[in-house]
Amino acid sequence: MKPNDTRNAIYAKRVAGKLVAVSFITVGELLFGAKKRKWGAAKIAELERRLRGAVVVPYDRELCDTYARLKAETRAVGRLWTITTCGLPPQP
């Protein structure tokens, strides 16, 4: 979030002292967005600092294949949406 975003204080309180986990796809999309917007070194360093504070959720090949298939299908019909683990059965 941007520094002046009013949600910062709300989210900071909710995650303080807790383990933060993100999908590997989320990490990839964040890095993609930074590169696409040609972020400078300082902004990239801040993103990297924040990512170091999070655990990247493990993945497997089935998840990668499903993500790729669903992303291709949604782009083909002009729909973009977050699909990180859609289509996979629940894991124990």
pLDDT digits (tens, 9 = 90+) for 24-58: 888 989 999 999 999 999 999 999 998 998 888 87
Tokens 């990247």 belong to residue: 56
Alpha helices in 1-92 (DSSP H): 7-15, 24-36, 41-52, 61-76
Q: What Å distances lie between residue 84 and 10, 16, 53, 66, CA to CA?
A: 24, 25, 20, 9
What ranges do the domains of the chain cover? 1-58, 60-92
- Model-level pTM? 0.57
Q: What is the pLDDT of residue 57?
A: 80
More confident residue, 92 or 25: 25
The gap between the terminal CA atoms of the chain, to the nearest Å, is 32
How far is C-alpha 20 from the chain's CA centre?
A: 12
